[in-house]
Amino acid sequence: MRLTINHRTRYRFSRPLTNAVQILRLTPLSCLNQTVLDWRIDVDCDARLRESRDGYGNCVTALYVDDPVTSLTITANGEVVTDDRAGVVSGLPSDLPPGVFLRPTALTTPDEALRDFAAEIAARVPNPLARLHTLSASLSERMQFEIDTSIVSTTAADAFEAGRGVCQDYAHIFIAAAREGNIPARYVSGHLYRRDGAGDQPASHAWTEAWVDDLGWVAFDPTNGICADDAYVRVASGLDFTDVSPIVGARRGGGEEQMTVEVRVTNAARRRQSQRQGSRGSWQEQSQG
C-alpha cells in the first residue's frame, strides 16, 4: 500500500517558553517491508533541527528552540509504500545482536503471575514461532483495550494484573513473556492504517518484534492478535517504550503545558478515489495507544 501519514503535536504554554531541547523519533526508515518515498519534519517557529541515529539504529531528530514562544507545533508527514511480508522484518539499515533484547527493563520485568502465564504457554506450545503466535492471540483475548486506564510508566506486570490497557501495555506484556521464555523481543512504535476506517485510533501505535531462528525478526501486534502486515509503518524500536518515545525533552520556562496530538493515516489509492467522489476527510485528534 501507499500510505500518507500526517502526525502533528501542538504545545501551548501559560507563560513564554525560554528555550527547549526535544528529541524526536518521528521518521521511519526504509527496509524490505517499507520504502519511504518522502518525509519531512516542520516546526512553526525559529528552530534548529539536527538528524542522527541512536544506539538502536533509529532516526533521531534533535530540535532546539532558543527564542521565547507561547506555542509550538511539530508536524511530521510523508508517504511510505508498504509490503506484506507475513510479519518477517528484513533489510533494516542497522541492527543490534538479538541477545541485546533479552535484557529486562523496569517496564518489562515480569512478576509471578506473568511468569506463570508465560510458562504455561511455553509448556503447551514448545515451538518458538507457534508459541509467539499463541502468546499474541492470548493477550488479544485476555486483555481489554481501554484508554485512560494506564500511563507511560505503567509496567507490564501492573497492566497484566489489571487486565486492561492500551497498545503500549499489550506490547510490554508480550515482551516480558517472550523474554521469560528466552526469546529476544523488542518494542516497536509506528503507525497503523485502519482498514475499517475507524476514526478513534490512537495517534501512534505500538507492537513488538521477536527473534525466531531461521526467520529473524517477526512483528507481532498483540493488541490485534496478528502479525504486522502492509498496514503498518515502522518508525522506531528499543527495549521498551522509553527507548522509542516519539517526543521527549527538556525546557526552561513555559509555565503549565497543554499538549494535543493529531494523526491521519490514509491509503493514497482510496484517497484519490474519495477525491474523485467529492468526499472530504478531517484531522483526527487522538491520544497515544
Position 115 scores a pLDDT of 97
Phi then psi for residue 159, to 5 deg, are: -65, -40
Grid coordinates of 222: 498483540
Amino acid at 155: T
How far is 117 from 112, CA to CA, in rounded Å? Answer: 9
Residue 163, sorted as left (phi over 0), alpha (psi -120 to 50) or beta, turns out to be left
| pLDDT of amino acid 198 | 60
Cα(204)–Cα(151) distance, rounded to whole angstroms?
15
pLDDT given at position 195: 86
SS3 138: helix
List CB contacts of 239: < 8 A, sequence separation 6 or more: 100, 101, 103, 105, 108, 186, 187
Domains of the chain: 2-268 (3.10.620.30)
3-class SS of residue 106: coil
Which pLDDT score, from 0 to 100, does residue 258 have? 93
Place of cell 483495550: 145
How far apart are alpha carbons 84 and 88 in whole angstroms? 9
- Which helix (DSSP H) or strand (DSSP E) does residue 130 occupy? helix 128-142
Cell 493515516 locates to 265
Mark residue 4 as left, alpha or beta (left: phi above 0; alpha: psi -120 to 50; beta: remaining).
Answer: beta
- The closest alpha carbon to 265, from 232, 226, 221, belongs to 232
Helix axes of 112-124 and 167-180: crossing angle, nearest 10 degrees? 70
Which cell goes with 166?
492500551
Do 157 and 110 contact (CB within 8 A), yes or no? yes
Largest CA distance in the chain: 60
Q: Is the distance from CB of 81 to CB of 1 less than 8 angstroms?
A: yes
pLDDT at 271: 55
What does the pLDDT read at residue 280? 40
Q: What is the mean pLDDT, run by run of 10 residues, along the chain of 289 residues? A: 94 93 97 98 95 97 95 96 97 94 97 97 97 97 91 95 96 98 98 77 85 97 96 98 95 91 85 45 36
- Cβ–Cβ contacts within 10 Å for residue 14, how many? 10
Look up cell 487522538; give the residue.
286
From the list 279, 237, 226, 222, the residue with the least C-alpha distance to 92 is 237
Distance CA 154, CA 169 (A): 7
Tell me how far apart the alpha carbons of residues 114 and 123 are, in angstroms, rounded to a whole number: 14
pLDDT of residue 125: 97
